[in-house]
Homo-oligomer: A and B are copies of this chain.
Amino acid sequence: MSEPATNAEREQAILDAASALITHYGYDKTTVEDIAQQAGVAKGTIYLHFRSKDDLFSALIAREAQRVAERSFALIDADPEGVTVYTIFRYGWQAMQENPLLRAVYVRDRRVLGDYVRRLASLPQFSQMVSLSGEFIQHFQRLGLIRADLDPDALLYVLTSFRYGLLVGDAVVPLSRTSVETVGEVISKLLASGIGPQGDSAKSEEGLRILRDLYAKGLEFMRANGRQASKDSNPGSGTI
């Protein structure tokens, strides 16, 4: 049982433990002691990596957000359609859907977040990060990747509500009656003909650039705002 765990590995282990416990028992019911035990370290060790319990949670959210973003990019790349408004939306939803913790954060699930919800002032920003901002829509309309006869503000409202509904959705109708893939297909088809683009557009390279841009901006904001301090600077993570 001798684990030569490096510093970074230990930090990840702590985050893993926190993730599992919090998604299951909720933030309030999960004690720092629990996390330490699950991660196989002493309680004090946690405070060598994170300033406070809240800081630990912020770091966890940031990590999961990055994962979700990467996962959604991977899904988009794997789809022959490539980067379009509807694949962005579809796989953005799917990636989020697959990550219980982040979904809980996004829909402000009190059962998981507990009293932490009140401290989530920076969350509007966060929800933008997940690739739905006014900026995004206007850029895409300019490029002809979203039909231009839709009022951008209203469209933002509609799409945001749509995504929100999809993420809380199974509270109303159980998703179990279908599958993530089937629903994803419907979303794609509906949005493809619903908001465009109409024909093939060569501008999609530009769209991809803008998307990556917004994504990077979002993650940067999250990193700056999320963790207040950490003892070690994570060096790698080169890819975007």
Chain A residues with a Cβ under 8 A of chain B: 127, 149-151, 153-158, 160-166, 168-169, 171-173, 175, 177-179, 182-183, 185-187, 189-191, 193-195
**Dominant SS at the A interface?**
helix
Contact of A127 among B149, B165, B172 (CB under 8 A): B172
**Further contacts, 14 of them, CB under 8 A, given A127-B172, A151-B186, A193-B193:** A149-B189, A150-B189, A154-B183, A154-B186, A157-B173, A158-B166, A158-B183, A158-B187, A160-B169, A161-B166, A163-B165, A164-B172, A165-B169, A190-B194
* Residue among A153, A154, A163, A171 facing the most chain B CB atoms (10 A cut-off): A154
Contact of A165 among B155, B168, B179, B189 (CB under 8 A): B168
CA of A187 to CA of B177, assembled, Å: 26
A165 CB contacts on chain B under 8 angstroms: 160-166, 168-169
A195 CB contacts on chain B under 8 angstroms: 190, 194
Asked whether, in the complex, the Cβ of B185 is within 8 Å of the Cβ of A151, the reply is yes
Asked whether, in the complex, the Cβ of B154 is within 8 Å of the Cβ of A182, the reply is yes
Asked whether, in the complex, the Cβ of A178 is within 8 Å of the Cβ of B157, the reply is yes
Asked whether, in the complex, the Cβ of A182 is within 8 Å of the Cβ of B153, the reply is yes
CA of A165 to CA of B154, assembled, Å: 14
With both beta carbons as reference points, the residue of chain B lying nearest to A198 in the complex is identified as: B193
27 chain-A/chain-B pairs, Cβ below 8 angstroms = A151-B178, A151-B182, A151-B186, A153-B177, A153-B182, A154-B182, A154-B183, A154-B186, A157-B173, A157-B183, A157-B186, A158-B186, A158-B187, A160-B169, A161-B166, A161-B173, A162-B165, A162-B166, A164-B165, A164-B169, A164-B171, A164-B172, A168-B168, A189-B194, A190-B195, A193-B194, A194-B195
With both beta carbons as reference points, the residue of chain B lying nearest to A184 in the complex is identified as: B154
A154 CB contacts on chain B under 8 angstroms: 178-179, 182-183, 185-186
CA of A165 to CA of B178, assembled, Å: 19
